Structure 1
Amino acid sequence: MTTLPPSKVNEFPEDSLEKKVYNIADSLEEYIPIMNDRNRLGYNLYKFMTGEGDSPEVIVRNAKLTVENISYDELANKIKQELEKIK
């Protein structure tokens, strides 16, 4: 039995919607310290931007994020401001 190297990861192009919303989630590392929570937030933001998901206010409350040093309302407002920049 042999161990194969992991498969390569294809990154999204810098100008893609996916990359932009995941960058927003990654920029909130000081408030959302757990990487899986940031990935979940990025996915939910992508769904919102494509018209399939909930607004940031609902996402922040329902995504079960571990939030530190900021309230849920303040975090939702920060996210909304960042989303306005990429619309």
Structure 2
Amino acid sequence: MRHLPSVGAILAPPESHPYLVVKQDNNGTTFVISDIEIPGLTGVIAHTAHAIRRPIGGWTHPTSHDIPALPLPDTAVLTRPDADPPF
């Protein structure tokens, strides 16, 4: 990338539509990612692609307290604390 991506929003009351602009360092190829067509770019677009819209959000990572422990099978082999490890 030539520089950090730029972020903006298209206002279409009562909604706003975010977009992302990424400019590459290879002769300035520019990518504009948006969920709607941007009116000012209609005559200068070389390629377009459409993707299925997915929700974007922040989710917390589960911790060991969030994951239930698996029960030990009835045939678990118990070892003495002073025994050598099995490896």
Task: Name the structure with the higher helix share.
Answer: 1
Task: Name the structure with the higher strand share.
Answer: 2
Tell me which of the two structures has the higher relative contact order, counting C-alpha pairs closer than 8 angstroms and 6 or more residues apart.
1
TM-score norm. by structure 2 comes to 0.25
Which of structures 1 and 2 has the bigger CA Rg? Answer: 2
TM-score norm. by structure 1 comes to 0.25
